[in-house]
């Protein structure tokens, strides 16, 4: 069982101002302070950290891996592995934030991911998440939840504010090519490049088509981050446009049918 104080926090709404909702709508990212308190952050740092350590199968050193492999250790759908982690992933506090920012009546879970950038871990190249997702609309949002403060040397998430309007680069998987091509495209636009540290308890939300990246972790500590991907609760499956979307359909939306609402056991309504 979670400590009572943490249960209460995860059930308590986080109020957004109209200005914050407008900011998200315009920029398709937002950073929110004090979404989690120090006790909750430390608790999940330990719980999720232990689960990643238990399930991780990567044995190669950072220097032996591809650019993508150097970026982070990645584990998925930890809500199915641990009831305590499920409490965070299914929490009304985070799910309501996702719905309020997207201005939808509710949200379903797409999936969760732990993204642990090791000491000495490389960059996360520029990319847009929704390249991978066979989802019919852009009503998608990712909560990026650091499990400790993230100073600049640790590689916090960076955003190109408002870049969801750019179509070029959407066809690129995350990697060396996306880093170079998207960086060149963003350089000739006036989209603001936002690179800031994250305070303890601060989390961000970003949409599926906004371009983002993260720097290398040049500290001697693991950068532990949990992410939760939400979609409009009425989201429908689209015809996949690439092999990655076919794989995502099979993995994260099993049994869903093209043109119909994604109502699989892995995609429950969480708010």
How many Å apart are CA 6 and CA 47, to the nearest integer? Answer: 13
Per-residue pLDDT, averaged over 56-67, amounts to 72
Percent above pLDDT 70 for the chain? 96
- Ranges of H-type helices in the chain: 4-11, 18-27, 38-55, 67-71, 83-89, 92-102, 176-187, 243-252
Mean pLDDT (the chain) is 94
pLDDT band at 67 (very low <50, low <70, confident <90, very high): low
Residues 6+ apart with CB under 8 A from 39: 3, 5, 6
How many Å apart are CA 231 and CA 209, to the nearest integer? Answer: 13
Q: pTM (2 decimals)?
A: 0.94
Domains of the chain: 14-252 (2.60.120.620)
pLDDT band at 61 (very low <50, low <70, confident <90, very high): confident
For the stretch 121-180, pLDDT in tens is 999 999 999 999 999 999 999 999 999 999 999 999 999 999 999 888 788 888 998 899
Handedness of CA 129, 112, 122, 32 (dihedral sign): positive
For the stretch 187-225, pLDDT in tens is 878 899 999 999 999 999 999 999 999 999 999 999 999
């Amino acid at each position: 069982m979670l400590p009572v104080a943490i249960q209460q926090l995860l059930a308590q709404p986080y109020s957004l101002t109209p200005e914050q909702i407008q900011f998200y709508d315009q920029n398709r990212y937002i950073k929110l302070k004090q979404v989690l308190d120090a006790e909750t952050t430390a608790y999940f740092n330990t719980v999720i950290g232990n689960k990643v350590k238990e399930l991780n199968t990567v044995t190669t050193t950072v220097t032996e891996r591809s650019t993508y492999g150097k970026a982070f250790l990645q584990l998925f759908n930890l809500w199915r592995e641990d009831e305590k982690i499920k409490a965070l992933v299914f929490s009304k506090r985070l799910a309501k934030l996702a719905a309020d920012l997207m201005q939808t009546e509710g949200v379903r879970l797409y999936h969760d991911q732990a993204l642990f950038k090791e000491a000495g871990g490389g960059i996360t190249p520029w990319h847009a998440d929704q390249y991978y997702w066979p989802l019919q609309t852009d009503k998608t949002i990712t909560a990026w939840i650091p499990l400790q403060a993230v100073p600049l040397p640790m590689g916090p998430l960076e955003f190109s504010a408002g870049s969801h309007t750019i179509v070029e680069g959407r066809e690129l998987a995350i990697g060396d090519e996306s880093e170079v091509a998207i960086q060149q495209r963003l350089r000739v636009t006036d989209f603001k490049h936002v690179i800031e540290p994250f305070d303890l308890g601060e989390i961000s939300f970003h949409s599926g088509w906004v371009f983002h990246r993260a720097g290398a972790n040049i500290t001697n500590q693991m950068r532990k981050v949990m992410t939760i991907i939400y979609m409009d609760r009425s989201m429908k499956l689209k015809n996949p446009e690439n092999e990655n979307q076919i794989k995502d359909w099979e993995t994260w939306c099993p049994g869903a049918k093209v043109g119909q609402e994604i109502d699989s056991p892995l995609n429950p309504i969480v708010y």
